[in-house]
Amino acid sequence: MPQPWWRSAVFYQVYVRSFADSDDDGIGDLPGITSHLEHVRDLGADAIWITPFYPSPQKDHGYDVSDYFEVNPEYGTLDDFDGLLERAHELRLKVLVDIVPNHTSDQHDWFRAAVSAPDNSFRERYHFADPKPDGAPPNNWTSSFGGPAWSPEPAGKQWYLHLFAPEQPDLNWWNPAVPKEFERILEFWLDRSADGFRIDVAAALFKRRDLEDRPFLIDPITGLPKFDSDFAIVDQPQLHDVYRRWRQIANGYEPARVLVGEIFDPRRHAKYIVPDQLHMAFALIHQRWDAGLWRRSIENSRRALQGPGAGPTWTLANHDVVRPVTRLGGGSLGRCRARAALLLLLGLPGQVFLYQGEELGLEEADMPDSARQDPIFLRTEGRLKGRDGCRVPLPWRRGRPNAGFSNANPWLPMPAGWDQFAVEAQAGAGDSTLAHFRRALAARRRLWNRLPERVDWLHTPDGVLAYARGPLVVACNFLSRPARLRLQGRLEAASEPLVAEKTGILHLPPNSAAWLLRVARPRQADGREALTSA
């Protein structure tokens, strides 16, 4: 049976505010995306995921939606959305829309109605509760952005729940009007030809019904109190019925549409990634640069999803985490490691999500505190820097104002010299990060049909990982010194400029990876033979 298009696909995440600005207001927009889609096609991706572009007061940069059926005027119009889809489909790129079902904006009509009167029926669509007798919040849950998960309503006596910012009140999924509305929202975008959804905070929609305090435990090691992590606030079983219904809706289109859940913990994946619910969830590899930790993390994600219908969705970056180049050591060291990490993950069975700018080797950008806009920074009074550093607009052209992103100052400032990473500057340079990404994605596409699902880890010295997938051998040197490995069989380089000799000795520079093709099988192939320190 042919595989559905999304199996093994490479997705490219577009952060709409920072991708490309078509009208010179310093803010990215939908026409900007449309006119730069060739970049994604040339990179070799199969699909894009666009972060929320709905009307929003931008308290969490689009993840606070005030109207799910419109486009934020800053980003364009519904016609611009249709134009984007049309162009993407011409280029054979699929498009995923970001759906935000856990919370609305406090400026959404529903919430405005809810707080307009103590007996307004829309209150049942959110979580309102009385404070404790001493005036404390209704329970001790905390917001992911810092502080309590409850705020007092503006006028009135009750408090409302928000697992994120106070401007993002959580919806009450126990109220049937809420699931019903989201089915309408899904159909609205699918009818406009969207190819699927990335579902924001996908495991959280239903909150435990009793809204009980989260118990404290005494940590046996430190002796300090800590929250009981087994006390489930979210992940309620009723959510699975919602996703079964969403899957039916997705399957009602031809070809079937795709559902990607924002769920990172591999222990949760098996519950949601099943044939009648979601197709994918993220396997985010964020460990420090250590061969053992990476192998364990890869194996945890692989073990979580076994079977022919699903595989891990490898991810190194998104708009919420420090950029991998910076995480992995910064500068040219971080860039080398990020390139190696890409090769290591791209060879594995499963899907891959890239985040805009990863292909340019962008680092986390620094900026003055006065420029920071992330609610995490604002709500923690600067204790946490927040996520602005990975959201700085993309550099497109060298020597142009604002690196060709916009003629106006961008909404987040670019560091000096940002244009050296511009797409245009890297496109023609064979040793650039962009060229590396293009080569690697092209090699993956070329080889993919020949590769079995099965992965055999090879015996390697400490600090080096290698696996075989049929004829493909992927080796990655995590060490800061070169590694020499002996590999049996006749070899050819599959991606990078040649690093393997036909002699079977593989020279891996520090912090690098290679893809090799075995053109002849080794004499004995038991997975133990292949690599030894030479």
Residue 254: CB atoms within 10 A of its CB come to 6
Least spacing, CB of residue 85 vs ligand GLC, in Å = 22
- Residue 54 as a binder of ligand GLC (CB under 6 A): the answer is no
Q: How far apart are CA 362 and CA 356, in angstroms?
A: 9
Least spacing, CB of residue 378 vs ligand GLC, in Å = 12
- Residue 362 as a binder of ligand GLC (CB under 6 A): the answer is no
User: Which residue number, 103 or 444, has a Cβ lying nearer to ligand GLC?
Assistant: 103
CB 245 within 8 A of CB 183: yes
User: Which residue number, 271 or 391, has a Cβ lying nearer to ligand GLC?
Assistant: 391
Least spacing, CB of residue 98 vs ligand GLC, in Å = 8
Q: Which of 93, 99, 178, 201 binds ligand GLC (CB under 6 A)?
A: 201
Reported in sequence order, the residue ranges of 178-300 that DSSP labels E, i.e. its strands, are 196-199, 216-218, 225-227, 258-261, 280-284
Least spacing, CB of residue 189 vs ligand GLC, in Å = 18
Least spacing, CB of residue 100 vs ligand GLC, in Å = 6
Q: From 99, 116, 76, 93, select the one nearest 10 (Cα to Cα).
A: 93
CB 250 within 8 A of CB 259: yes
- Residue 320 as a binder of ligand GLC (CB under 6 A): the answer is yes
Interior angle at CA 165, CA 98 and CA 259, nearest 5? 20
Q: Which of 6, 53, 63, 197 binds ligand GLC (CB under 6 A)?
A: 63
- Residue type at 49? W
Is residue 103 helix, strand or coil?
A: strand
Least spacing, CB of residue 279 vs ligand GLC, in Å = 18
Helical ranges in 6-93 per DSSP H? 16-19, 30-34, 37-43, 78-90
User: Which residue number, 262 or 359, has a Cβ lying nearer to ligand GLC?
Assistant: 262
Binding-site size for ligand GLC (CB under 6 A) equals 9
User: Which residue number, 25 or 320, has a Cβ lying nearer to ligand GLC?
Assistant: 320
**Catalytic entry in 200, 364, 374, 496:** 200
The encoded tokens of residue 168 equal: 């993002």
Distance of CA 219 to the CA centre of its chain: 32
DSSP structural state of residue 85: H
Least spacing, CB of residue 319 vs ligand GLC, in Å = 6
- Residue 60 as a binder of ligand GLC (CB under 6 A): the answer is yes
Q: How far apart are CA 19 and CA 32, in angstroms?
A: 7
Least spacing, CB of residue 5 vs ligand GLC, in Å = 24
User: Which residue number, 375 or 489, has a Cβ lying nearer to ligand GLC?
Assistant: 375
User: Which residue number, 160 or 515, has a Cβ lying nearer to ligand GLC?
Assistant: 160
Which string of x and - marks every residue 113-142 that binds ligand GLC (by CB under 6 A)? ------------------------------
User: Which residue number, 56 or 495, has a Cβ lying nearer to ligand GLC?
Assistant: 56
What is each CA distance from 234 to 102, 211, 217, in whole angstroms?
A: 11, 11, 19
CB 382 within 8 A of CB 42: no
Least spacing, CB of residue 423 vs ligand GLC, in Å = 24
β-partners of residue 516 are 473, 493
β-partners of residue 281 are 261
User: Which residue number, 105 or 495, has a Cβ lying nearer to ligand GLC?
Assistant: 105
Q: From 442, 273, 446, 280, select the one nearest 351 (Cα to Cα).
A: 280
- Residue 414 as a binder of ligand GLC (CB under 6 A): the answer is no
The encoded tokens of residue 85 equal: 């889809």
Which residue is at the shortest CB distance from ligand GLC?
63
What is each CA distance from 386 to 58, 291, 310, 364, in whole angstroms?
A: 15, 28, 33, 11
**Catalytic entry in 167, 262, 358, 359:** 262
The encoded tokens of residue 233 equal: 């606030």
- Residue 388 as a binder of ligand GLC (CB under 6 A): the answer is no
Q: How far apart are CA 48 and CA 54, in angstroms?
A: 17
Which string of x and - marks every residue 266-305 that binds ligand GLC (by CB under 6 A)? ----------------------------------------
**Peptide bond before 255: cis, by omega within 30 degrees of 0?**
yes
Interior angle at CA 127, CA 126 and CA 133, nearest 5? 150
Active site residue 200: yes
Least spacing, CB of residue 16 vs ligand GLC, in Å = 12
The encoded tokens of residue 359 equal: 């292909």
DSSP structure string for 278-311: -SEEEEE----S-HHHHHHHHHHHHHHS-STT--
Which residues, 6 or more positions from 502, have their beta carbon under 8 angstroms from its beta carbon?
490, 491
User: Which residue number, 102 or 406, has a Cβ lying nearer to ligand GLC?
Assistant: 102
Q: Which of 46, 153, 170, 200 binds ligand GLC (CB under 6 A)?
A: 200
User: Which residue number, 21 or 60, has a Cβ lying nearer to ligand GLC?
Assistant: 60
- Residue 164 as a binder of ligand GLC (CB under 6 A): the answer is yes
Q: Residues interacting with ligand GLC, by CB under 6 A?
A: 60, 63, 100, 164, 200-201, 262, 319-320
Catalytic residue positions, numbered: 200, 262
